[in-house]
Amino acid sequence: MSTVERDPFILDRPTGRRLRARDAIAVVFIAALLLLLLQGESIRSTGEKMDPGWQRTLVLAVGVPAGWLADRLPIADAVDDVTAFLSPDDELTGAGGFNAAPAAGPAAAAGGGTGGGASAPITTDAFDPTELGVKTAKLPALKTLLVTGDSLAQPIDVQLARRLARDGVQTVRDAHLGTGISKTDIVDWGVLSTQQAKERKPEAVVMFMGANEGFPFPGAGGKSIQCCDPEWAVVYATRARRMMDTYRRDGAARVYWLTLPLPRAKSGQAIARAVNAAIAVAAQPFRSHVRVLDMTSVFTPGGRFRAAQDIGGRATIVRRPDGIHLNDAGSNVAMGIVLERLRADFAKLGS
């Protein structure tokens, strides 16, 4: 290989003195060592949150011993306290957490709440009046809409916000990527939903979540409840029901819970089916306030994945290439369904 011509101005020689390669390695390893000592716990927890695979194995190979070491040194906590003011996250503390110590049975593993134990009385809340053909008064006005969930809640959150901005509805977009009801290590949705309902007091909540589900729940006697048999669905439904109950605020709000369009991957389809079944069961006691919006049959009719479907007489791609999420066009379809239900429930959109 020979160079005939060079662009001398392009390859600016770096400034500063030259050191040896072993100095470069030393610098990086000194930095790495300090970070392991100061952030070992955080490296370990990052690894634990990752999806299974070689990257997780690699991070945990370093993170587990580093975390062990950091647990025994008082300095890590001090560093966390000093840098806490830089964190952009709202502190997620308070009531409603799913992570109560598991007792016996799946419902207890779900963190208590409705659903387990003795047979609960059936109330009028369990019936959607419109399904019975009964006319009821609409809620007066939708002023604040909360759109939340995991990555599935995007881009429907921004689409709803744009659409409703002209009516004066304030849309709070609060998607938490990579989280799930069966995955409490990043966000405990029990705590988060309580906090969202308390702080925002939305009259309507759109929930679209389920891209990161399928994780085992803690069960009785240290055993874990694996996805996706009925036991797992019981725990999922119990947790979802608590969230629905929180969001509906004793009937002051309406909840629009979107079911999952089946993903392309077969393994993902099994999880989605369990999640969808659990959502349907979870909503039963609150049918007067909680609307389960069926995205499964809209995007995957007949239980078959398809990337494109007919919209307005034209074949249109509705899924992202990952085979899980909806793209803008698909999300637009979902938004139309949500808007239709909002209009049915509220006398007026906006103040």
Partner 1 sequence: MVFPTVQFAVFFPIVLALSWALMRRQGVWKPFMLAASYVFYAAANPLFCVMIAAVTLGNQACALLIHRSEDARVRKQIVVLAVTLNLATLGVFKYYGFFATEINGLLDRAGLGLPLPLAAIALPVGISFIIFQAISYTVDVYRRLITPAATIDVALYLSFFPHLVAGPIVRAREFIPQLQSPRDPRKVAVGAGVALILIGLVKKVAIADFLAREIVDPVFGVPQAYAAPDVLLASYAYAVQIFCDFSGYTDIAIGLALLLGFVFPQNFDRPYRAASFGEFWRRWHITLSRFLRDFLYIPLGGNRGGKWKTIRNLMITMVLGGLWHGAAWGFVLWGAIHGTALVVEHQFRGRVRLPRWLGWLLVFHIVVLAWIPFRAPDLGLAGAYLARFADWGPATLWTAPVVIVTFLVIALQVAPAKPMDALRVRFERLHPVALGASMATVILLVAATVSSQGVPPFIYFSF
Q: In the range 259-318, which residues lie near partner 1 by CB under 8 A?
A: 307-308, 313-317
Q: Is the Cβ of residue 75 or residue 104 nearer to partner 1 in the bound state?
A: 75
3-state SS string for 256-282:
EEECCCCCCCHHHHHHHHHHHHHHHHH
Q: Is the Cβ of residue 229 or residue 328 nearer to partner 1 in the bound state?
A: 328
Rounded to the nearest angstrom, the gap between the alpha carbon of residue 207 and the centroid of all alpha carbons in its chain is 9
In degrees and rounded to multiples of 5, residue 297 shows phi and psi of -75, -20
Q: Which of 110, 187, 211, 235 binds partner 1 (CB under 8 A)?
A: 187
Q: Which of 46, 114, 284, 332 binds partner 1 (CB under 8 A)?
A: 46
Answer yes or no whether residue 78 interacts with partner 1 by CB under 8 A.
Answer: no
Q: Is the Cβ of residue 29 or residue 68 nearer to partner 1 in the bound state?
A: 29
User: Count residues contacting partner 1 (CB under 8 A)?
Assistant: 78
Closest CA to 281 of 350, 349, 222, 235: 235
Tokens 């991070």 map to which residue? 59
Q: Which of 10, 101, 132, 137 binds partner 1 (CB under 8 A)?
A: 10
CB of 81 to partner 1, least distance (A): 11
Other residues' Cβ atoms within 10 Å of the Cβ of residue 302 = 7
Q: Mask of contacts with partner 1, 12-41, x by CB under 8 A?
A: xxxxxxxxxxxxxxxxxxxxx-xx--xx--
Answer yes or no whether residue 173 interacts with partner 1 by CB under 8 A.
Answer: yes
Q: Tokens in use for 263? A: 């993903």
d(CA 260, CA 282): 15
How many Å is the maximal CA-CA distance in the chain? Answer: 86
Contact 150, 209 (CB under 8 A): yes
Residues 199-238 that bind partner 1 (CB under 8 A): none
Q: Which of 65, 112, 178, 350 binds partner 1 (CB under 8 A)?
A: 178
CB of 236 to partner 1, least distance (A): 22
d(CA 29, CA 17): 20
Q: Mask of contacts with partner 1, 142-161, x by CB under 8 A?
A: ----------------x--x
Q: Is the Cβ of residue 141 or residue 277 nearer to partner 1 in the bound state?
A: 141
Tokens 């006005």 map to which residue? 141
Q: Tokens in use for 265? A: 């991957």
CB of 18 to partner 1, least distance (A): 4
Residues 89-128 that bind partner 1 (CB under 8 A): 89
Tokens 């609060």 map to which residue? 174
